[in-house]
Amino acid sequence: MVATSKTMDALKTIGLNKYERNLWVALLSRGSSTAGELSDISNVPRSRCYDVLESLADRGFVMVQPGKPMKYVAIPPREALERVKKKIQEDAFETSQKIERITKSDHIKELERVHKDNIKTLKPEDLTGALKGRYAMLQQVETMMKGAKKSIKFMTTENGLLELLENHSNVLKKASDAGVKIQIAAPVPKSSTQHAKNLGKYAQVRNINEGENLKMSGRVCVVDGQEFVLGLTDDQKVHPTQDVAVWTQSSHATANVFEPLFDHVWKSSKVVK
C-alpha cells in the first residue's frame, strides 16, 4: 500500500525531505530490503539511497542489518516516531546545556566585546533587517523589550493583542517591574476585553476602535525612541510563515516618524474599561 499525499505531507512537517519520506515509506511496505530494491520502488536515485538511509538510521527511523548486500529493516511507525521524538528532545537538551555553559563562561564576554567594538562604527542603515515569519518577528520584539530602559510602545491588531498576552506576558511584567513605561494601542472588541485587562496588569491599554483613528490598523513596536519593528503584512490574511516585518535601530526614523505616529494614535484612542 502506498501512503497518501496527505500522509507524505504530514511527514514533511516533521522534517523529512522528499527522498527520506519516499525511502522510509518504501521500506515500511517491504519490512526489510536492500538499498537497490528500495531505489527501484521509491524513485530515489541509487547514488543517494545509501546516505539517505544512513541518515534515517541515525535518526531512529530504520535499522541497519549488516551483511552482503547490506539490508535495512523497518521499525514499526509508532515506535520509530517515538524514538525520533526522544532523540530530538535529548539533542535539544544537550544543546541547551552547551549554550548555558557558554553564557556563563568567559567566551560570552569575548563575543560581547567583539560585538561592541564593531557596532560603534556602523551606520543606522547597517542596523536594519527584514524579518521573515511570525516567529522571527516575535523573537525580535522580545529581544527589544528585554533591552528596554524607558518605554515600550505597541500599536497592534486584535490578533497581535492576543499574541502579546500569550507570548510576552513574562517579559512585559519584568519590564514593568523595572520601571519601563508600557503603552499598547489596539482594536479591542468585546471578545478581546479580557485580553486587554490582563495586559493592563503591566501596561496602559487603549482601544483604537473607540477613538478617532478611523480604520487604523497595523503593527509597530517602538522601544526607547531608538528602534522599532514594523509589520508589513496583514496578520489576518497571511500564514504565520509568510508574515514579513522590518526592524531598524535608526533613532532618526524612530524618534521623528514612528514614535510621533504612535503618540498621535494613543492620544486619539480611549482607555479600555
The pLDDT tens digits for 184-193 are: 999 998 888 9
* Contact call for residues 251 and 225 (beta carbons, < 8 A): yes
Strands lying side by side in the sheet with 62-65 = 32-34, 71-74, 62-65
Is 124-271 a domain of CATH 3.30.870.10? Answer: yes
- Cβ-Cβ contacts under 8 Å for 29 (sequence gap 6 or more): 1, 2, 41
List, for residues 115-155, the tens digit of each pLDDT value. Answer: 777 666 656 555 678 999 999 999 999 999 999 999 999 99
* Contact call for residues 229 and 221 (beta carbons, < 8 A): yes
List, for residues 216-248, the tens digit of each pLDDT value. Answer: 778 999 999 989 999 999 988 899 989 999 998
Q: Which residues does residue 129 pair with via DSSP β-bridges, in sequence order? A: 247
* Contact call for residues 39 and 49 (beta carbons, < 8 A): yes
d(CA 263, CA 244): 24
Predicted model pTM:
0.66
DSSP character string of 166-198: HHHHHHHHHHHHTT-EEEEEE---GGGHHHHHH
Q: What pLDDT score was predicted for residue 124? A: 56
Residue 245, classed as helix, strand or coil, is strand
- Cβ-Cβ contacts under 8 Å for 240 (sequence gap 6 or more): 133, 134, 135
Neighbours of 106 (CB within 10 A): 8
Q: What is the DSSP letter of 250?
A: -
d(CA 248, CA 229): 7
Domain with CATH 1.10.10.10 in the chain: 5-81
d(CA 113, CA 103): 14
List, for residues 16-68, the tens digit of each pLDDT value. Answer: 999 999 999 999 999 999 999 999 999 899 999 999 999 999 988 999 988 88
Pick the CATH number of 5-81 from 1.10.3720.10, 1.10.10.10, 2.30.110.10, 3.40.50.170: 1.10.10.10
The number of angstroms, rounded, from the C-alpha of 102 to the middle of its chain's C-alpha atoms is 23
The number of angstroms, rounded, from the C-alpha of 180 to the middle of its chain's C-alpha atoms is 25
Percent of the chain with pLDDT strictly greater than 70:
93
Residue type present at position 131: L
The number of angstroms, rounded, from the C-alpha of 136 to the middle of its chain's C-alpha atoms is 5
Q: What pLDDT score was predicted for residue 218? A: 87
Which grid coordinates belong to 28? Answer: 515500511
Domain with CATH 3.30.870.10 in the chain: 124-271
